[in-house]
Amino acid sequence: MRTAPRSRTSACLAGLASLALGVGLLAAGPASGSPAGAATTPSTSTAVAPAAAPAAADALAARRRAKRQNVATPGDFSGYGFDQCVAPTQQAMDAWLEHSPFLAVGIYISGDSRACRTQPNLSPTWISTQLAKGWRLLPIALGPQASCEPRFPRYKDDFKISPAPGDGSYPTARAQGAAEADKNAADATAYGIAPGSTLWYDLEGFDLTNTHCRESALAFVSAWVERIEALGYVSGFYSSAGSGIKMLDDARVKRPGQFRLPQRIWIARWDGIANTSTTYIGEDGWRPGGRVKQYRGGHNETWGGVTINIDSNYLELGRGSVADPEARCGGLRTTYARYPMLKPKQANAQRVRVLQCTLTEQGHYAHRVSGRYNKRTRAAARAFQAAHGLTPSPKFRKRHWVVLHAVGDTPVLKVGSAGAAVFRLQRALNAAGAGRLAGTGVYDLATEAAVKAYQAKRGLPQSGIASTATWKQLQAGRF
C-alpha cells in the first residue's frame, strides 16, 4: 500500500503484456488484434508517433451514431469499475462482462502524454458496442503534466504545463488547458462519445509543495474544466489523493470561487477499501454523486479465462444506480416475496392480478385485470405454458411463476445494474424461493446474495452475476 499513489502509468505499461496473455487464452481472439503485437512500452527518450485519429468519414459516422444511439456515459451509477491503458479486445470485454464484478471501464482516448498512444482495439464501433452491452465508460485524457513531475515529458513531442506565473494568473498554463480541452473533446466526439458524458483529465502525482508547479497545474485544470464544459461534456479529474485531489480540495475550501473546479473527481488512493472516501480531503466535497476512487493499483485479475492488468475502482456518480418506477397495468404492484400456486376456486386475488397483467403484456390475455382465476384466465395461462414448453395445466405452479417472470431479454446483470431487467430478475428469484427481494429494480447486495443462493441450488458457479447460464435456468423454470 502506498500512502499517496502517484501513478496509474505502471499499470498501463504492465497491462500491455498481461492483456496480451489474457487475449491469448481466447481461441476466437484474432492474433492481429493483440495489443502485444501492436504496441510496445515507450521510453522517455524515444519519439513515438501518435496513433492516427479516426478518419473523417469514420468520425462523421461516429457522431451520427452518438446522436442516434450512444448514451451519455457513465451516467448515474454506483458500482465497480476497472481501468487499463490499452482498450481490451471485444472478446476480452465480453468475457469480463459475463464473469467479472466490473460494469465500468476506464479507457485512454486522448492526450499526447499517455503511455498507450497506440490503441489497436479502440474505435467508434468499440465505444458503441460496449455502451450497447451495458458497460459504463470512463474516457480518460492524459496530456500535459505538472512541471515538477519528473517522469514527463514521456516523448520528444509532448510537453509539460508551463510554470511561468506571468501576471500571476499563469496565463500560459491556462491557454494550454483550454487548448487541451479542445483536443480532448474533439477526440471524444470522433469516437462517438456523446455530449453529457464525463471526460476525465489524468494529472499524475506531483510535489504539492512546489508553488509554481502547483499553481500552474491549478490554472491549467481550471481552464480545462471551463472549456470542456462549454463543449458539452461533464468535467472529471483524476489524480492522487495527496497531490492533485488535495490541490483541488484546498482550492475549494480556502479559495472558493477563484477557480473553476471539476464536477467530478477520481481519487487515486490505494487503501484497498472499495468506497469513495479518503482522509486527504473532507467528506463534504463532490458529494453526493461526484466521486470515484481507485482503491487498488496495478495487478492482474482473471475472469472468464482472460487475464488483464488493471486498477480497481469504486464509483458513486450522479444519482447512483437507480431504476425508474414501473408503470404496469395502471400502476399495479407486481413484485411480491412469494408467488403461491393458483388453482380453480383457490387463488390469491392479488397474485391473479399479477398473472393477468403479465399475460396481457406477453400477448396471452386480452381481458380485464380482475383478480379472478376464471376460465379466461386459466385458458391464457395454459396458452402461456404451451408456448414455453410446459405441460398445460389448470394450476399455475411455482415453476410457471419462475418462467413467467424470467421471460424477456437476458442481459448480464451485476451490482450496479438497474432497470426493467433487474425488476424481472428480482421477481423470478422470489418466485424460485431464492430471495425475498423488495423489487427495487436496482441490483444491490441483497440481489447479489439471492443470485448466489439460486446459483448454489442449481449447481452453477456462485458468482453473484446474473449470467447467461443463470437466465437460462430461470427461463426453464428451475428452482
Q: Are residues 256 and 302 in the same domain?
A: yes
Is-above-0.95 flag for pTM?
no
C-alpha 294/C-alpha 282 separation (Å) is 17
Q: What is the DSSP letter of 477?
A: T
Whether 19 maps to a domain, the answer reads yes
Whether 339 maps to a domain, the answer reads no
**CATH code for the domain in which residue 313 is found:** 3.20.20.80
Measured between alpha carbons, how far is residue 349 from residues 232, 370, 374, 378, 399 in Å?
51, 8, 11, 14, 19
> Can you read off the three cell numbers belonging to residue 228?
470542456
pLDDT of residue 69: 76
Find the helix packing angle between 211-230 and 246-254, rounded to 10°.
Answer: 80
C-alpha 109/C-alpha 372 separation (Å) is 58
Find the helix packing angle between 398-406 and 420-431, rounded to 10°.
Answer: 170
> Can you read off the three cell numbers belonging to residue 456?
448454489
Whether 86 maps to a domain, the answer reads yes
Q: Are residues 190 and 86 in the same domain?
A: yes
Q: Are residues 354 and 468 in the same domain?
A: yes
C-alpha 204/C-alpha 268 separation (Å) is 10
Task: State the total domains in the chain.
Answer: 2
> Can you read off the three cell numbers belonging to residue 187?
477526440
Residues spanned by the domain of 136: 9-317
- pLDDT, averaged in runs of 10, over the chain (479 residues): 40 42 33 27 32 50 59 96 97 97 98 96 97 96 98 94 98 98 98 98 98 98 98 98 98 97 98 97 96 98 97 97 94 97 95 98 97 97 97 97 97 96 98 96 96 98 96 97
Neighbouring-strand partners of residue 267? 239, 293
pLDDT of residue 373: 98
Q: Are residues 287 and 204 in the same domain?
A: yes
pLDDT of residue 59: 52
pLDDT of residue 63: 52
pLDDT of residue 77: 96
